[in-house]
Amino acid sequence: MSCPRVRSFLGGLSRRKPLEPEGEVSTFCRCLTTLDLVALGVGSTLGAGVYVLSGEVARTQSGPSIIISFFIAALASIFAGLCYSEFGSRVPKTGSAYLYSYVTVGEVWAFVTGWNLLLSYVIGTSSVARAWSGTFDDMIGNVMADYFSKYAAMGLPGLAAYPDVFAAGLIMILAGLLAYGVKESTTVNKIFTCVNILVLVFVIISGFIKGNIDNWYITEETLQNVTAQLENSTFSVNVTSKFGVGGFFPYGFEGTLAGAATCFYAFVGFDCIATTGEEVKNPQRSIPLGIVGSLLICFLAYCGVSAALTLMMPYYLLNIHSPLPVAFTYIGWAAAKYVVAVGSLCALSTSLLGSMFPMPRVLFAMARDGLMFTSLQKVNARQSPAVATLSSGTVAAIMALLFDLKALVDMMSIGTLFAYTLVAICILILRYQESESEEDQLHTSTTSAFAFLKPPSHPTKYTSKTVTTCTIFAVAVVVTLSVFMTQAIQALLRREIWSLLCLSLILALLVLTTLVIWRQPQSSSRAPFMVPLIPLLPVVSVFINIYLMVQLGGDTWIRYAVWMAVGLLIYFGYGVRHSVQKQRLLNSQLSIQTVEDKTGKDGAKVECS
Cβ atoms within 10 Å of 485's Cβ, excluding its own: 16
Tell me how many degrees the CA angle 491-497-499 measures, rounded to the nearest 5.
45
pLDDT tops 60 at residue 448: no
Q: What is the pLDDT of residues 365-409, one digit of tens each?
A: 999 999 998 888 888 888 888 899 999 999 999 988 988 777 677
Count of residues in the chain: 609
Tell me how many degrees the CA angle 52-55-59 measures, rounded to the nearest 5.
145
Q: For residue 435, what are the contacts with CB-CB under 8 A and spacing of at least 6?
A: 459, 523, 524, 525
**Is the distance from CB of 388 to CB of 376 less than 8 angstroms?**
yes
What residues does 403 pair with on adjacent strands? 159
- Read off the pTM: 0.85
Question: Average pLDDT, stretch 464-490?
Answer: 92
pLDDT tops 70 at residue 8: no
Reported confidence tier of residue 89, pLDDT bands at 50, 70, 90: confident
Burial 330-357 (b: 16+ CB within 10 A, else e): bbebeebbebbbebbbbbbbbbbbbbbb
CA-to-CA dists, residue 410 to 96, 196, 352, 547, 558, angstroms: 21, 26, 18, 14, 11
Q: What is the pLDDT of residues 184-231, one digit of tens each?
A: 888 999 999 999 999 999 999 999 999 999 999 998 888 888 887 877
Reported confidence tier of residue 581, pLDDT bands at 50, 70, 90: confident
Of 436, 272, 450, 252, the closest CA to residue 351 belongs to: 272
Q: What is the pLDDT of residues 102-153, one digit of tens each?
A: 988 888 999 999 999 998 889 888 988 988 888 888 888 888 888 888 888 8
Q: For residue 46, what are the contacts with CB-CB under 8 A and spacing of at least 6?
A: 193, 196, 197, 200, 297, 298, 301, 302, 347, 350, 351
Phi and psi at 280, nearest 5°, equal -100, 140
Torsion of CA 23, 29, 31, 35, to 10 degrees: -70
Question: Residue 460 carries which DSSP code?
Answer: -
**Is the distance from CB of 292 to CB of 43 less than 8 angstroms?**
no
Tell me how many degrees the CA angle 45-48-54 measures, rounded to the nearest 5.
95
Tell me how many degrees the CA angle 18-19-21 measures, rounded to the nearest 5.
60
Positions of E strands within 522-573: none
Task: Give the N- to C-terminal CA distance of the chain in Å, as an integer.
Answer: 46
Phi and psi at 159, nearest 5°, equal -95, 160
Q: What is the pLDDT of residues 496-541, one digit of tens each?
A: 999 999 999 999 999 999 999 998 988 888 888 888 988 999 999 9
CA-to-CA dists, residue 382 to 247, 301, 339, 362, 393, angstroms: 57, 35, 37, 19, 18
Question: Residue 315 carries which DSSP code?
Answer: G
Positions of E strands within 120-261: none
Determine the pLDDT at residue 449: 53
Positions of E strands within 307-364: none
Phi and psi at 32, nearest 5°, equal -90, 145
pLDDT tops 80 at residue 156: no
CA-to-CA dists, residue 231 to 15, 63, 99, 234, 313, angstroms: 64, 21, 56, 9, 21
pLDDT tops 60 at residue 29: yes
Average pLDDT, the chain: 85
Torsion of CA 461, 465, 468, 473, to 10 degrees: -160
What residues does 11 pair with on adjacent strands? none
Question: Average pLDDT, stretch 566-576?
Answer: 91
- Amino acid letter, 446: T
Taking the C-alpha atoms of residue 343 and residue 170, their distance in angstroms, rounded to an integer, is 18
